[in-house]
Amino acid sequence: MKILASGLALALLATPAMAQSIGEKTGVNSTLGITPATEDFVKEAAISDMFEIQSSQMAQERGNAPEKTFAATMVKDHQKTTDDLKSMVSSGKVKVQLPSALDSSKQNEIDKLKSLNGADFSSRYDSDQLSGHKDAVSLFERYAKGGDNTTLKDWADKTLPTLRHHLEMAQDLTAGKTVGSRP
């Protein structure tokens, strides 16, 4: 068993890009503060945007008044970051392929939201927004600090204030405060 574990560890060390992919997917990179690979950053940012837009469109229909206000902002802001990413890729400034659909984890979250209404929907949506924006802030901070694509690194840094504001709004939402209010 030790030989198998050692072999796996060596294989991961021998392929840093693969190790970063696995780490980003499992949250290990976030915990350790490791900068994501450009491809991983773009994939995670694009999937996060898709999730935010889809879940917030549902919240505009099913949510309570504060969630509807929050959701309108999420749809508008995450559509902008989606457009920004698409523009950087299509211009050739970022040489990666954008995902065309949610990954299985985020699709499962959307499917779960689709099955909920009322307070159950609100509880799940609010929780998803809080955890999603914590993850997004971490992802963008790490890439802005150490990313290897200058254009993308600058964009991540410029996007961070908006994501931090989204996180504050999500915290207010889960605390039952008026969204966007300041203490």
Rounded to an integer, the average pLDDT of 116-144 is 96
The owner of tokens 């999937």 is 47
Query: In CATH, which of 1.20.1260.10, 3.40.50.1980, 1.10.150.20, 3.40.50.2300 is domain 35-175?
Result: 1.20.1260.10
* DSSP letter assigned to residue 34: P
Q: What are phi and psi of 92, to 5 degrees?
A: 90, 0
Q: How many CB atoms lie within 10 A of CB 31?
A: 10
Our measurement of the distance from residue 127's CA atom to the centroid of its chain's CA atoms, rounded to an integer in Å, reads: 14
Is this model's pTM higher than 0.85 or not?
no
Rounded to an integer, the average pLDDT of 113-136 is 96
Instruction: Choose between 119 and 15: higher pLDDT.
Output: 119
Angle between helices 38-62 and 104-114 (to 10 degrees): 0
* DSSP letter assigned to residue 27: T
User: What does the pLDDT look like over 37-83, one tens digit per residue?
Assistant: 999 999 999 999 999 999 999 999 999 999 999 999 999 999 999 99
User: What does the pLDDT look like over 149-178, one tens digit per residue?
Assistant: 999 999 999 999 999 999 999 999 999 876
Q: How many CB atoms lie within 10 A of CB 180?
A: 14
Rounded to an integer, the average pLDDT of 116-145 is 96
Tell me what pLDDT residue 34 has.
Answer: 86
Our measurement of the distance from residue 176's CA atom to the centroid of its chain's CA atoms, rounded to an integer in Å, reads: 23
Q: Are 88 and 155 in contact (CB under 8 A)?
A: yes
Tell me what pLDDT residue 101 has.
Answer: 97
Query: pLDDT exceeding 90 applies to what percent of the chain?
Result: 77
Give the end-to-end CA distance of the chain in Å, rounded to a whole number.
54
Distance CA 128, CA 133 (A): 8
Distance CA 50, CA 88 (A): 17
Tell me what pLDDT residue 23 has.
Answer: 55
Number of Cα atoms under 13 Å in the Cβ half of residue 144: 16
Domain ranges for the chain = 1-34, 35-175
Rounded to whole angstroms, the maximal C-alpha distance in the chain is: 57
